[in-house]
Structure 1
Amino acid sequence: MKRTLRIAVVGAGLIGRQHARRVLGRPRLELRYVVDPFADPADVPAGPDTVLVADLGQALGDVDGVVLATPNAAHREGALAAVAAGVPVLVEKPIADTLEAAEEIVTAAETSGVPVLVGHHRRYSPLLARAVEIIGSGAIGDPVAVMGSALFRKPDDYFEAAPWRTESGGGPILINLVHDVDALRALCGEIVRVQAVAGSAARALAVEDTAALTLSFANGALGTFIVSDAAASARSWEQTSRENPGYDTAEDEDCYHVAGTRGSLSVPTLRLRTYPGEVSWSERSVVTTVTAPRQDPLDLQLEHFEHVLRGETAPRVRAREGLQSLRVVHAVAQSARTGLPVSVPTDLPAARSAAAARFVQRTGVDDHVVNP
């Protein structure tokens, strides 16, 4: 019989409470602590032995794992404290608020060997996993063009509840885009160059409400992406994937489209277009819809974290992956400010996918582009 693992959830806000409820729902996990100096005990999910404490240091000596769901600026402090205590930690996305803080976390994790996972939960979605598998199989050939969107309308009270969201750093580039950047990296490999333009015409706040970007991938593909939290549209992962019942859904819409040399794939509907004969716009193509189970990726992420805690698997989204997605988002923000293209450095392996491996084989180019 596997022993029950004791978990501390740090931060009792919206996402922290979601994590806490999921810990309570797993039979071999115990929600031992909820850490939040400002939490109302009446609002905190708790089991019979859960203790509410004000400081993570009060919990670290008595837990097997930490789920860090504090505001972004507090991720560095919490993650470094857990690593120093030898306790594996799942850090909510983004890994940190600055690149310097993220690099500190990466260094601490890799030096100590203590597992640090980043909560890019879409990586656990069966829909995204199936799309990655299809593209990696070569079914659409080599990816050449990518289109994506994160279009949704945030209500006014979203900003009234947290006025910091109306200031620099509170717009959809830094709050929402990191999810999509991480998903596109999983689908098509590393993003090595970005250019962006942002505007605030819809709300006239000090922060952007809409941004449009161009993306260059290491495997040669090019992409476009548009994000807006003022758009009355459903072309976002949240509303097309139907994985979160808290959002209105549009099951016939897609938010990503990847076109390759032999076909294309729309995500998350998983509509796959291929050519049985010659690939040409004048030849007949075949469209099929690939099936994939619909499961809550936050549940699957916590299940994976439990396996990591038991030493049964390595982290799927390790700290360095979280750093790389943050680098891309910061490059987008920099480009939007300056109007100039920005290269994205990376220290991850070049051949991250079967598609990238085929690109190397076809072109003979084996140097992972860092500064194109």
Structure 2
Amino acid sequence: MTAIAVLGAGLIGREHAELVASHASASLAAIADPSPQAQALAARLCVPHYRDYETMLDEVRPAGAIIALPNHLHAPAALACIARGIACLVEKPVADDLAAARRLAEAAERADVPVLVGHHRRHSPDIHAAKRAIEAGELGAVVAVSGMTLFDKPDGYFDVEWRRSVGGGVLLINLIHDIDVLRHLVGEIESVRAFTSNAHRGLAVEDTASIAIRFVNGALGTFVISDNAVSPWAWEYTSGQALYHPSEPGPYLFLSGRKGALSVSDLYLWRHAKESDHWQDRLVRESRSGDGSRTYVNQLDHFLAVVQRQAKPLVDARDGMATLAVTLAVDRAAQEDRTVTLAEMLAEGAEAA
């Protein structure tokens, strides 16, 4: 059994703790979080509770740690794990700024201690199937991509102060997952333009954004996101894989290439029957399918392999830094009303580190 500690017992931290406690090859070693709710969770799961994660790491010495603390604590907690030789899974974003993300990535590489970033959709069967179709050449070269994440968070969600402050809006909480999927499926992002809005909810943070994307390989894309709009069009619904949301099978992401098009999460592949066909000919629709596995279980399985040094992190700290850089570029592009490049963001992060 691989002993895993959980740092943070908020919404996702509680789910991590439950998953570890129920896994056949893992044991929940401890929970570190100062809240009374964390103490109650630890008591229910019959594991030690600590208010301070450094004390817990020193006394418990788990084989691995899952970091589900507030964003600004991700990098410090991961660095504490690295200093002790403990592999960690860090919830997204990998850090709250690029300088901290770079310091974390460099520390992990120097110490040769693996860090897995919790971009869980890369472990999802629909994303796996989409990646397979692209790598098999079924779409040809990807030309264009368009997607949406639209859902309505309740007012009570924003009772927590940090969700009303800088960094607590829909970009760093939600869009960052979509950016990671786009990087994974289409390729590295060269630059972005964007608009953001808080016109309807009126909080200090954005609740809606629209983005134009240029990929390094020449593909172009658009994405629209809001946590203040009713719809069934978001991975959380369409995949049937999210922990807290109902399943609404359908598409949220559309990829089109020189040979075919694919919608995700419903995994319909559209192509011409003959290579000589074109826009005046009917298309053939085929179905691709996932393997029926569960995203968060897949992620935990992978993390256990990482802890045992049997696998390299699917999303390491440097990879997570690139996704963070694009997400922060979206915010800057909206604030400054200009095109922002990934190279610009990474260069500034390197200087600040």
TM-score band, normalised by shorter chain:
over 0.9
CA distance in 2, matches of 1:242, 1:266: 15
Secondary structure, counterpart of 2:149 in structure 1 = strand
Deviations 1:121-161 (A, max 9, x none): 0000011011011011111111000001111111111112x
Off by >4 Å, runs of 4+ in structure 1: none
Q: 1:6, CA displacement in angstroms? A: 1.4
Q: Give the number of equivalent residue pairs.
A: 342
Residue 140 of structure 2 is aligned to residue 141 of structure 1: yes
Letter in 2 for 1:164: W
Q: Which moved more, 1:177-186 or 1:280-289?
A: 280-289
Q: CA deviation at 1:230?
A: 0.8
CA contact (8 A) 2:42 2:48 kept: no
1:165 alignment partner in structure 2: 163
Q: Which residue is equivalent to 2:113?
A: 114
Q: Could you tell me how far apart the structure 2 residues matched to 1:22 and 1:148 are?
A: 30
Contact 1:167/1:206 (8 A) holds in 2: yes
The 10-residue stretch of structure 1 (331-340 or 275-284) with the greater mean CA deviation from structure 2? 275-284
Q: Structure 1: how far apart are the matches of 2:44 and 2:315?
A: 28
Partners of 2:24 and 2:3 lie apart in 1 by 11
Check the 8 A contact 1:17/1:45 in 2, yes or no: no
Q: Is the 8 A contact 1:68 1:89 kept in 2?
A: yes
Question: Mapping of 1:46-57 within 5 angstroms?
Answer: 46-48=44-46, 50-57=47-54
CA offset at residue 347 of structure 1? Answer: 11
2:273 to 272, 276, 279: 276
Rounded to whole Å, the distance in 1 between the matches of 2:52 and 2:280 is: 65
The alpha carbon displacement at 1:168 in A equals 2.7
Larger deviation, residues 60-69 vs 39-48:
39-48
Aligned to 2:349: none
Q: Mind listing any 5+ residue stretches in structure 1 that lack a counterpart?
A: 349-372
Task: Supply the distance in 1 between the matched residues of 2:323 and 2:185 (Cα, whole angstroms).
Answer: 13
In the aligned structure 1, how far is the partner of 2:126 from the partner of 2:234?
14
Per-residue CA deviations over 1:280-332 (Å, capped at 9, x if unaligned) read 11122100111213332111111111111122111111111100100000000
Paired with 2:69 and 2:244, the residues of 1 have a C-alpha distance of: 21
1:219 corresponds in structure 2 to 217
Specify the code of the residue in structure 1 equivalent to 2:15.
Q
| Larger helix percent | 2
d(CA) in 1 for partners of 2:342, 2:243: 35
TM-score by length of 2: 0.93
Equivalent residues in 2 for 1:118-267, closer than 5 Å: 118-160=117-159, 162-244=160-242, 246-251=244-249, 253-267=250-264
Alignment correspondent of 1:363: none
8 Å Cα contact 2:329-2:345 kept in structure 1: no
Q: Deviations for 1:200-237, whole angstroms, at most 9, x for unmatched residues?
A: 12112222111111000111100000011111111111
Find the residue that maps to 1:215 and give its secondary structure.
Answer: strand
Partner of 2:328: 330
C-alpha distance in structure 1 between counterparts of 2:345 and 2:319, whole Å: 10
Distance of 1:318 and 1:279 partners within structure 2: 42
Judging changes above 3 Å, is the alpha-carbon distance between structure 1 residues 294 and 258 closer, same or farther for their aligned structure 2 residues?
same
Q: Secondary structure at the match of 2:233?
A: coil
The alignment yields a C-alpha RMSD, in angstroms, of 1.7
